[in-house]
Amino acid sequence: MDIHALTRELQMDNGSKIVMLVADGLGGLPMTPGGMTELETAQTPNLDSLAWRGVQGASIPVKPGIAPGSGPGHLALFGYDPLHYKIGRGALEATGIGFELQEGDVAIRCNFCTIDANGKITDRRAGRISSEESAPLAISLRQVKIPGVEIFVEPVKEHRFVVVFRAPGLGGNVADTDPQKTGVPALDPVAQDTASQRTAEIAKEFLSQAKKILSGHPKANFHTMRGFANKPSLPSYREVYGLRAAAIAVYPMYKGLARLVGMDIIGAAHTLSEQIDTLEKHWNDYDFFFIHFKYTDSTGEDGNFQGKVARIEELDAILPRIEALNPNVMIVTGDHSTPSYLKSHSWHPVPTLLVSDCCRPDPHKAFNESTCITGGLGQFEAQYLMALALSNAGRMGKYGA
Amino acid sequence: MDIHALTRELQMDNGSKIVMLVADGLGGLPMTPGGMTELETAQTPNLDSLAWRGVQGASIPVKPGIAPGSGPGHLALFGYDPLHYKIGRGALEATGIGFELQEGDVAIRCNFCTIDANGKITDRRAGRISSEESAPLAISLRQVKIPGVEIFVEPVKEHRFVVVFRAPGLGGNVADTDPQKTGVPALDPVAQDTASQRTAEIAKEFLSQAKKILSGHPKANFHTMRGFANKPSLPSYREVYGLRAAAIAVYPMYKGLARLVGMDIIGAAHTLSEQIDTLEKHWNDYDFFFIHFKYTDSTGEDGNFQGKVARIEELDAILPRIEALNPNVMIVTGDHSTPSYLKSHSWHPVPTLLVSDCCRPDPHKAFNESTCITGGLGQFEAQYLMALALSNAGRMGKYGA
């Protein structure tokens, strides 16, 4: 069942406004048995006040027991079934550095590697070469010229860079050239379907020219190609929800994910406060605002419990500025949990809060992992959150007569 | 959506251990309005202590309102969608008596019946003939010989027995011969597809020879054939979860179900204590242990409320021996509810408890039908329990980047 079949049919425009504030990796765990989570530890008077007026629940990003990456985590929050809509690795890497993929582009994750005199790989990551050293090398590959193909090469980090081929009709289904072990040569790029034959040929030619350009470098004298992927094809927010949507994010990855569903990227904020400046400035221009806050995830990934607590408190302190704009629906949630205890994304359901004048409030006067379990939204799959948002905003008619 | 598509892709082996203790028919009901269930009545200090450290929820075996048999109940717990994977009646009957079906076998449930001089059925169950009388009769049918086919005949209980045909390429799609009423002759076995033509012919020949062998018996002078079924084809635990799995069960049915998903059947225990002996002995040999406890179901089926309470207390008392082994994930659940009040399997959600060092504990300090409703796992379909187990054991990577 695709929820968009319903939202496409039932959507209405009443001029109401929805704000979705995503605290990345919001959900947590206690550090010791019987202890409190990051969100339970944080002083969050504004969230508590919203909890009093709103309804909360525990959102399951994908399915019970499945920890998602940022891609599926956000697609689910945006209301796109994360098991149906997949973003290829290459496309996600390009998105993550802010590269604007166009329809039909093929994006490829590349790794610098070291090969010996016989062409056998001796190090799959070129001695984990530093970004300072690898970026100019990646840029030097822009010398590669292949007739009829526009080629982009962008440094990422350390041994990683991205290559994008742009030419009409290129398929994205080509096997990795990384043999996943050393002592053997890199594989040739092999098309997995007819539509990708030309892509494989272009990749082969690229590798051949790159080998010459890189030859002589002591560590990064060749590279592999992985995760060939076309730009994913996602219906837009305008199409499936009838919303003019904008994303206010600091990091390229989240701007990129929002762009994939047709959101405008607005502002150039570097801080949460600047993000809210952007929100205020563009309040009349859009129906839906996605605000992304990264640091609840990064502190969690670092295992920095107190840091995550502080970031949650920072987020809480900004809420009155959003409330002052009187959104019809305000949502606070996360794309997944990132417990400091695990230092990684996890499968645990995510505390999610929805406030509108017609939500059915539950008895909770706080908002955290313990309260959300028994909140009025129950446990629900994140992909239904947008339908809840639209209905609470008065933007959905009834299904059937 | 098949959760195995995810577990196949994301599984990792970190050497951790999972124990799933299944108290058959665990869930119950109060005998009088306002009363307590069997699990609420039982003194369960060890379960309560696990509840304190763990997370609980109410598992729905198939879908809300659906009471499952043992087959779908266990398949769901094992993580196999019980609406997708079906075990034919004949195959389940053979499994239930411990018959080891091989790929391509066709198993058939047979009922002794009484026919009159005109071949019309006068009693579809041969006067509910006793097991003592019917077992030698079933064994006498081993005289049936059909060229090119290996034939097995196994007594079950009273008027029931099982026949298995083993020959290459036999399809299992043959209509029942039981006309479901008396006063008419049994039907001929009719193939429902081309692959089952030969099976139908073999069945016809079997019935013809059987009629001669049984003629003259006052009650059981013929038999019907129902539930023709091939061995079900289920991917193995090794394949879908990367687990070396073992089953420790007393009853053949549960050993058989475990065997169908590729578990090794270990030990020859007759008591719960002996089952735990087996667990201890083989602790280093497997990653996953399924321990089946039958008596919570059989007492429930008997309507023996106090008996079920006592069996739950017996189960509780053994828990410290399992805990002493320090499993990374420990689960206590049931395959369905069997309330003494109903004397049958029921559709009620099943109290389910999961303990690991990274589960997100809920506030409950007891474990029963009332607490599990508001537990941290919420209400969830049993088929997702294995994904939760794997993630809590650190055996799953994240989905998407």
What is the mean pLDDT of each successive set of 10 residues along chain A, which is 401 residues long?
A: 93 98 98 95 98 98 97 97 93 90 94 96 94 96 97 95 96 95 96 96 98 95 96 95 97 92 95 98 98 97 98 98 98 98 98 98 96 97 98 97 86
Which is nearest to A110 in space by CA: A229, A217, A193?
A229
Residue A213 distance to chain B (closest CA, Å):
31
| Alpha-carbon gap, residue A74 to A386, rounded angstroms | 12
Query: What's the CATH number where B323 sits?
Result: 3.40.720.10
pLDDT (tens digit, 9 = 90+) per residue, B232-260?
Answer: 999 999 999 999 999 999 998 899 999 99
| B151 and B129 assigned to the same domain | yes
**Mean of pLDDT over chain B:** 96
Task: Kindly report the number of other CB atoms within 10 A of residue B132's CB atom.
Answer: 8
- Buried b or exposed e, range B181-213, using 16+ CB within 10 angstroms: eeeeebeebebeeeebbbbbebbebbbeebeee
| Alpha-carbon gap, residue B160 to B137, rounded angstroms | 11
Residue A113 distance to chain B (closest CA, Å):
22
- The helix or strand, by DSSP H or E, that contains position A8, with its residue range, turns out to be helix A3-10
| B225 and B267 assigned to the same domain | no
Are the beta carbons of B234 and B274 closer than 8 angstroms? no
Which is nearest to A20 in space by CA: A275, A196, A236?
A275
| Domain-embedded: residue A399 | no
Verify whether the Cβ–Cβ distance A64 to B384 is below 8 Å. Answer: yes
Verify whether the Cβ–Cβ distance B380 to A379 is below 8 Å. Answer: yes
Q: CB burial class (10 A; 0-12, 13-18, 19+) of residue A16?
A: middle
| Domain-embedded: residue B399 | no
Verify whether the Cβ–Cβ distance B361 to A34 is below 8 Å. Answer: yes
Beta strands in B4-149 (DSSP E): 18-23, 55-60, 106-115, 121-123
DSSP for residue B353: E
pLDDT score recorded for residue B388: 98
Using CB atoms, which residue from A29, A69, A379 is nearest to B401? A69
Are the beta carbons of A12 and A396 closer than 8 angstroms? yes
Residue B378 distance to chain A (closest CA, Å):
6
Verify whether the Cβ–Cβ distance A65 to B377 is below 8 Å. Answer: no
A73 interaction partners in chain B (CB closer than 8 Å) = 400
Using CB atoms, which residue from A69, A341, A342 is nearest to B400? A69
**The tokens of B110 are what?**
């047979």
Best A160, A348, A364 residue to mutate vs chain B (most B CBs within 10 Å): A348
| Domain-embedded: residue A397 | no
**The tokens of A196 are what?**
């990708």
A373 interaction partners in chain B (CB closer than 8 Å) = 362, 374-376, 378
Verify whether the Cβ–Cβ distance B400 to A87 is below 8 Å. Answer: yes
Sign of the C-alpha dihedral computed for residues A326, A327, A329 and A330 taken in this order:
negative
| Count of domains observed in chain A | 2
| Domain-embedded: residue B179 | yes
Are the beta carbons of A310 and A302 closer than 8 angstroms? no
The structure tokens 């996605």 sit at A290
User: Mean of the pLDDT values across residues B377-396?
Assistant: 98
pLDDT (tens digit, 9 = 90+) per residue, B39-97?
Answer: 999 999 999 999 999 999 999 999 999 999 999 999 999 999 999 999 999 999 998 88
Using CB atoms, which residue from B1, B390, B398 is nearest to A69? B398
3-state secondary structure of B227: strand
Verify whether the Cβ–Cβ distance B387 to A62 is below 8 Å. Answer: no
Among residues B230, B263, B289, the one where a domain terminates is: B230
B5 interaction partners in chain A (CB closer than 8 Å) = 83
Which of 151-210 (B) contact A at CB < 8 A? none
Best A26, A39, A62, A66 residue to mutate vs chain B (most B CBs within 10 Å): A66
Q: What are phi and psi of A257, to 5 degrees?
A: -65, -40
ipTM score here? 0.90
Which of 60-119 (A) contact B at CB < 8 A? 62-73, 82-83, 86-87, 89, 92-93
| Alpha-carbon gap, residue B208 to B322, rounded angstroms | 54
Verify whether the Cβ–Cβ distance B391 to A58 is below 8 Å. Answer: no
For chain B, what percent of residues have pLDDT higher than 70? Answer: 100
Q: Which domain holds residue A142?
A: 92-230
Using CB atoms, which residue from A58, A63, A370 is nearest to B387? A63
| B188 and B329 assigned to the same domain | no
Verify whether the Cβ–Cβ distance A71 to B388 is below 8 Å. Answer: no
- Asked whether residue B1 carries a pLDDT value surpassing 80, the answer given is no
| B222 and B338 assigned to the same domain | no
Which of 298-327 (A) contact B at CB < 8 A? none
Which of 335-394 (A) contact B at CB < 8 A? 339, 341-342, 344-349, 369-370, 373-374, 378-379
| A49 and A160 assigned to the same domain | no
Are the beta carbons of B192 and B175 closer than 8 angstroms? yes
| A323 and A243 assigned to the same domain | yes
By C-alpha distance, the chain A residue nearest B376 is A373
Please report, for residues A70, A345, A346, A371, the alpha-carbon distance to residue A297 in angstroms, rounded to integers and kept in the order given.
10, 8, 11, 21
**The tokens of A166 are what?**
């742009």
Please report, for residues B205, B261, B391, the alpha-carbon distance to residue B284 in angstroms, rounded to integers and kept in the order given.
50, 21, 21
A342 interaction partners in chain B (CB closer than 8 Å) = 358
Using CB atoms, which residue from B362, B391, B397 is nearest to A373? B362
Residues sharing a CB contact under 8 Å with residue B315, sequence separation 6 or more, in sequence order: B21, B23, B272, B293, B296
A34 interaction partners in chain B (CB closer than 8 Å) = 52, 361
Are the beta carbons of B121 and B183 closer than 8 angstroms? yes
- Asked whether residue B7 carries a pLDDT value surpassing 90, the answer given is yes
3-state secondary structure of B203: helix
Which is nearest to B27 in space by CA: B371, B320, B355?
B371
pLDDT score recorded for residue B36: 98
A344 interaction partners in chain B (CB closer than 8 Å) = 398
| Alpha-carbon gap, residue A124 to A140, rounded angstroms | 20
| A112 and A18 assigned to the same domain | no
| Alpha-carbon gap, residue A60 to A367, rounded angstroms | 17
pLDDT score recorded for residue B231: 93
| Domain-embedded: residue B58 | yes
Are the beta carbons of B64 and B80 closer than 8 angstroms? no
A89 interaction partners in chain B (CB closer than 8 Å) = 401
By C-alpha distance, the chain A residue nearest B57 is A373
Verify whether the Cβ–Cβ distance A67 to B398 is below 8 Å. Answer: yes
| Domain-embedded: residue B397 | no
CB-defined contacts A:B, below 8 A = 95
Residues sharing a CB contact under 8 Å with residue B117, sequence separation 6 or more, in sequence order: none
Verify whether the Cβ–Cβ distance A63 to B384 is below 8 Å. Answer: yes
Sign of the C-alpha dihedral computed for residues A193, A194, A195 and A197 taken in this order:
positive
Give the alpha-carbon dihedral of B192, B194, B144, B146, to 10 degrees: 170
pLDDT (tens digit, 9 = 90+) per residue, B109-125?
Answer: 999 999 999 999 999 99
| B265 and B212 assigned to the same domain | no
| Domain-embedded: residue A398 | no
Q: CB burial class (10 A; 0-12, 13-18, 19+) of residue B285?
A: exposed
Residue A7 distance to chain B (closest CA, Å):
21
B363 interaction partners in chain A (CB closer than 8 Å) = 370
Sign of the C-alpha dihedral computed for residues B114, B117, B120 and B122 taken in this order:
negative
Pairing of strands B106-115, B222-230: antiparallel
Among residues A180, A207, A230, the one where a domain terminates is: A230
Please report, for residues A4, A239, A261, the alpha-carbon distance to residue A235 in angstroms, rounded to integers and kept in the order given.
9, 6, 6
- Buried b or exposed e, range B238-266, using 16+ CB within 10 angstroms: bebbbbebbbbbbbbbbbbbbbbbbbebb
Best A345, A373, A380, A381 residue to mutate vs chain B (most B CBs within 10 Å): A373
Nearest 5°: CA angle at A70, between A230 and B390? 110
Please report, for residues A290, A326, A334, B346, the alpha-carbon distance to residue A17 in angstroms, rounded to integers and kept in the order given.
11, 8, 20, 46
- The helix or strand, by DSSP H or E, that contains position A295, with its residue range, turns out to be helix A295-301
B3 interaction partners in chain A (CB closer than 8 Å) = 63
| A34 and A167 assigned to the same domain | no
pLDDT (tens digit, 9 = 90+) per residue, B214-223?
Answer: 999 999 999 9
Pairing of strands B378-381, B55-60: parallel
Among residues A171, A202, A230, the one where a domain terminates is: A230
Verify whether the Cβ–Cβ distance A89 to B401 is below 8 Å. Answer: yes
| A255 and A219 assigned to the same domain | no
A37 interaction partners in chain B (CB closer than 8 Å) = 360
Verify whether the Cβ–Cβ distance B380 to A63 is below 8 Å. Answer: no
Q: CB burial class (10 A; 0-12, 13-18, 19+) of residue A18?
A: buried
| B226 and B267 assigned to the same domain | no
Are the beta carbons of A315 and A308 closer than 8 angstroms? no
Please report, for residues A56, A78, A337, A355, the alpha-carbon distance to residue A376 in angstroms, rounded to integers and kept in the order given.
6, 21, 20, 12
| B253 and B344 assigned to the same domain | yes
User: Mean of the pLDDT values across residues B303-316?
Assistant: 98
B398 interaction partners in chain A (CB closer than 8 Å) = 67-69, 344-345
Beta strands in B205-304 (DSSP E): 222-230, 245-248, 264-265, 288-293
| Domain-embedded: residue A369 | yes
**The tokens of A153 are what?**
């090469």
